[in-house]
Amino acid sequence: MSKLPHIGTSIFTVMSKMANEYNAINLSQGFPNFPVDERLTSIVARLATENVHQYTPMTGYPPLLTKIAKLVLDSYKRVVVPETEILVTAGATQGIFTTIQALIKANDEVIILDPSYDCYEAPVLLCNAHSVRVPLNDDYTPNWEIIEKACSAKTRMIIINNPYNPTGKILAEADFVRLEKILDKYPDLLVLYDEVYEYITFEEKHISAHTRQQLLDRCIMISSFGKSFHITGWKIGYVVAPEHLMIEIKKVHQFLVFSVNSISQVAISEYLDIVDVTKLGKFYQEKRDYFKKLLEKSRFELKPCEGTYFQVASYKSISDEDDVTFCKRLITEYGVAAIPISTFYANGKDLKLIRFCFAKDNATLEAAAERLCSI
């Protein structure tokens, strides 16, 4: 008997497979196709011949832990203790899974805001806990009245994604104030804060939970070097949490992966000495703006994108088809792959919206836009 009977193949796998079958331009899955920084690849090439191929300590390569603490301090003015409050993980997804397995018990409730990334629910269900899916407003802002009504004495965790995948939205100051009021009301409630796109934000100032003093003792932060440095295949991220929570998270981590790829940890540790994460937002904003300009003559309506490298677009003026059918036809007839937003909702809510990934080189964006403008 399946422990996850209603969960099938990921929509990302489905669309990427179709893209390959029809030789379509793949703007569905969120991975860049441009070269990795040569400074990083040079570090890796050198390290390949050095003695860095054995297990690192369970929590992470010590110099990398120190560099992460400095990165958090430089970015958010938050002091974290490398030895007790940071854990290097095999990607952000493993960090999320491990955290939920460590902190959620049977019959606990976990609030997930829809449309939500697809890795949140499965670990909740594997704990014999209950996911409570709460919809965002149609403009993708949180409806805090509905969220608060969904909370109860059984609610152990709320999962927040900021900047938000798939919507491209970021939280405002008022959102944090409302979240903090809910935490005041429910003293046992934790926040799992998925911030993997923290350095990929645009005009609006991104507010990190690292800067919210009221959250720090009850918040587990998830970050991703894979997203920040265009190395998604490395599957390396990190968790920052207060020691009393991190103790439990480490217990699960040590029996799940024990330690993370050694050469990648050493390479990123060195790379953090020379890379400027503050330039990432400008780099991706140029990508976003260029893709938007290329689609000006199309019939797609592009929604506001405040962060991430995803652009949500409405196709209401093009078709009345449901978004899954439309995305499949987009591949088979026009040779461009996108992701239907309804698949991020528990109830399959269809607002005739799809998601494009613009983390691609300009030639790819130009070729895709030419096809999209022909619809």
Ranges of H-type helices in the chain: 11-21, 38-47, 62-76, 82-85, 92-103, 121-126, 144-150, 173-185, 225-228, 243-256, 262-271, 280-294, 323-334, 362-372
Indicate if the alpha-carbon torsion angle 176, 179, 181, 184 is positive or negative: negative
Three-class DSSP category at 27: coil
Chain mean pLDDT for the chain: 96
From residue 28, alpha-carbon distances to 31, 121, 370 in Å are 9, 21, 17
pLDDT for the residue numbered 238 = 98
Angle at which helix 92-103 crosses helix 243-256, to 10 degrees, equals: 110
pLDDT in tens, 82-109: 999 999 999 999 999 999 999 999 999 9
Q: What is the CA radius of gyration of the chain?
A: 20
Give the separation between CA 305 and CA 235, rounded to whole angstroms.
25
> So what's the pLDDT on residue 204?
77
- pLDDT band of 10, cuts 50, 70, 90: confident
pLDDT at 317: 96
Average pLDDT over residues 360-374: 97
- 268-292, pLDDT tens digit by residue? 999 999 999 999 999 999 999 999 9
| Separation CA 244–CA 373 (nearest Å) | 53
pLDDT tens for 96-155 read 999 999 999 999 999 999 999 989 999 999 999 999 999 999 999 999 999 999 999 999
How much is the pLDDT for 30?
85
Band (pLDDT 50/70/90 cuts) for residue 240 is: very high
φ, ψ dihedrals at 199, nearest 5°: -100, 5
Q: What is the pLDDT confidence band of residue 7, given thresholds at 50, 70 and 90?
A: confident
